[in-house]
Amino acid sequence: MKKLKYPVKKKRTSRNDQNTYAFENTYKPTRISKIIIYTVFAFVPLFLSYFILRSSFKINHFFSFPLDDPWIHLTFAKNLAHYFSFSYFKNEMVTAGSTSPLYTILLGIGFFITENEMMLSYALGILFFVLSSLVFYRLATFEFSRENILAMVCTGLFIIDKWMNFISVSGMETTMFIFILLLCSYFYKERKAVPFAVMLGLIMWTRPDGIVFIIALIIDYVLTKIYSKDNINLNLFTADEMKKILLIFAGLTGLYFLMNFMLSGSILPNTYNAKLTYYSPEFRSREAFLRYEVWDYFKDGAYYVIMIGFIFSFLKLLFDLYKKTYNQNTAYILFILGLVFIYWLKLPYAHRFGRYLMPVIPFFILVATVGFRDLCRIIYKYSDNQLFSRSIFYILVGIAYFIGIKNYDESRDLYVNQCKYIYDRQVKAAQWLKDNTNETDVIATHDVGAIGYYSDRKIVDIAGLVTPELINKINDLDYVSYVSNYMNKNGVTYLAFLREWYRVANKDPVYSTASTLPPEIMEIYKYEPGKTRILSRETNGLLMKAQSLMGRKDGQQILYLTNRILEIDPNCAYAYFYRAFAYYYLNDFPNFEKNLLKSVELFPEYTDSHYYLGEYYKGNGNFSEAKEHFERYLEIEKKNETVSEYLRIIDDSLKAKQPQINNLK
């Protein structure tokens, strides 16, 4: 006997129930219509993604990613294809450093087709975005079983979504993860046991935080089973189907745990433990996470309107739970709230562009559209005006579409800028390392993506993503000392740091973007064991805070911060430099000079200190001292028109003074 889908209403029973059908549409697409609909839903996301890439290349004249992480997947995939090893350097760094091994494996297979890493990543991201759009429509037609038009409207909101388009060409596994989640949801709702079990098992292979989705489905199924005692229209899996689901899921998940354990001795990837350690709640504010990275994120642009429908659906879920009535959105809402909760609890960080929260966006849109429909059903119930209630729905959705298209253009511009941002820092640094270092050199860095892929050098990852033995020490107060010893043992010869993460004390970099690419500055240093000193995270954090106060000329606060730094590290030239300006803002010029001289004593090649000492002495008429510092500046920097002009003025002043001195004699 064929099972019924749930919930199913066989016929209208009374006038009081007619509000349920305010949006009912007897339209059923014909075979030709379905082909047209699916073609449109495949072509539009393809075109929108392509248009973003086209805009980026037209403006930047190169292909890139707006994140550094895609090259982590690509490095593992390239080594998997070339050496048949899940390694981060040839076949020498075997480790479970990929958050998404399934995506990495697909990339590895792709390397047998093309060596163009950019086209490979773009193709996979766009392909899964297109597939996600098609599956989203199938899922929406299930949820809007009598309202196919609403299913199409809902799918359109998903397709034009700014973040879906942005992430589809960002080289990440996100669109694949969304595809698997949507397909898993569809098979679950349709009660197709075997494909549902396969998708359920692949979730962990795609991202470990997918466990939240699995838990949400379990809770939803338990509630369905409870409610089915009073509602014959609620369909369940048979006992045999449940056995198949458990067997397939356990097998796929067990293989995932086994692979990670064999590679790194842990059942989860290194990236999971490393990020939990680095971005732990002790170092990041849970309150700020909820306020800025969740609430502000989901009420921005078109989401501001969509949030109305979501909130209504959430309230309806609470009401249905109270009434012990089945709600079609239970699993979706539990997944959205559960993912936010687990990050709030363990990792209060949504990453750049809210990437960790993007998998909930399709469910957010679906739940919100259902909420709009249910809200307008209630309006219809009390107004008895179908046209009015439908108008409210289409006005809300129309506003969301209008803002969504504008948001798409904004995200396209953001994509273009961020691709250049990453290329100018990570990619160019990697190219410099490849061109200016030997093949035997070892690079220590915290951003291992582009540097690992393009430099072709062995990497020591001080953030722990691909160097798991460092993870447990990351938040230790003496981590810098520990990692320095580790680098000495592992033959590190160069450091590549964003200054905002780590900074080397009293030494000039051999490569820097300081003069051309603020705010984040990429620097490369030659590493000399026992000589090169890396500032602790605490010291560097205080320095960055002192630097940020320079623009406000807050002398007292800068003085307080630099005094704290010098208590921790009394030989930090940068602290004396900032403290000099604290005194300058407080009109204490003798101490301004004294601290600049101390910074030069500790760091003789510190050009900034030489420059300001030269200016100070020039302004006071001490031309000999000014000349000494300006000349030292040019010895280090080679070229600077301003300093050269100052030297000409000083030389002229000294020549003019010479006759006066001779006359006195």
AA letter at 413: D
**Mean pLDDT for the stretch of residues 250-259:** 94
pTM, two decimals, is 0.90
> Which residue, 254, 259, 281, is CA-closest to 270?
259
The pair of structure tokens assigned to 195 is 């494909």
In degrees and rounded to multiples of 5, residue 531 shows phi and psi of: -115, -45
Whether a cis peptide bond, with omega within 30° of 0, leads into 7 is yes
Q: What is the pLDDT, as a whole number, of residue 6? A: 43
- List, for residues 194-231, the tens digit of each pLDDT value: 999 999 999 999 999 999 999 999 999 999 999 888 77
The pair of structure tokens assigned to 80 is 């998997």
Which of 307-316, 343-352, 610-619 is the most confident on average? 307-316
**Mean pLDDT for the stretch of residues 393-418:** 95
Alpha-carbon dihedral angle through residues 472, 476, 480, 485, given to the nearest 10 degrees = -50
Q: Which helix (H) or strand (E) holds 619?
A: helix 607-619
The pair of structure tokens assigned to 639 is 């070229």
- List, for residues 440-492, the tens digit of each pLDDT value: 999 999 999 999 999 999 999 998 888 888 888 887 878 888 999 999 999 99
AA letter at 175: T
**Mean pLDDT for the stretch of residues 279-305:** 86
The ranges assigned to domains in the chain are: 30-409, 420-534, 604-665
AA letter at 488: N
Q: Per-residue confidence at 15, pLDDT binned at 50, 70, 90? A: very low
Q: Per-residue confidence at 13, pLDDT binned at 50, 70, 90? A: very low
Cβ contacts of residue 96 below 8 Å, gap of 6+? 86, 259, 260, 263, 264, 266, 268, 269, 270, 468
